Amino acid sequence: METRRDNFVFCCVAVFCFWACASDSLYPESYIEVLILKSIKASLEDPNGVLNDWVGDEVDPCSWTRVTCSPDHLVIGLLLQNNNISGSIPSELGRLSKLQTLDLCSNSFTGEIPTSLAHLKRLPIPNHSLLEDQRIGELP
């Protein structure tokens, strides 16, 4: 009888451990990206409410306005142009490691372009529209 109970407890612990590991690995990187995007939103003034759907306990930001994702649900584009968004360009953008497209033109950004953007190896600096019409600093 003791052996059955021990086996049952072992099975319950094994199932729980498997479930915990599986749930953490569904979209772990995209969940980190959700936190980064929420931080970016919090640092900006968005009078037109373009980023209003960047809220909640989402694990996948791919349905959010102005966000494009890869097939594996990682952020590869932020198209924030022409939205009257203001504030400093968030340094957190440099943490979106898969970013390939970043368009911030025709907004009201101030300050320097963060050096963290130099970490975005997939972002083609000569070809992107960072601040096309309002250069506010040197590219890192």
Which domains are seen in the chain, by residue range? 27-127 (3.80.10.10)
Query: For 71-120, what is each residue's pLDDT tens digit?
Result: 999 999 999 999 999 999 999 999 999 999 999 999 999 999 899 998 89
- The pLDDT value recorded for residue 46 is 97
55 has pLDDT over 60: yes
Going by the DSSP 8-state scheme, the letter that residue 102 receives in this structure is E
> Which residues touch 79 (CB under 8 Å, ≥6 apart)?
66, 68, 101, 103
**Is the pTM above the cut of 0.85?**
no
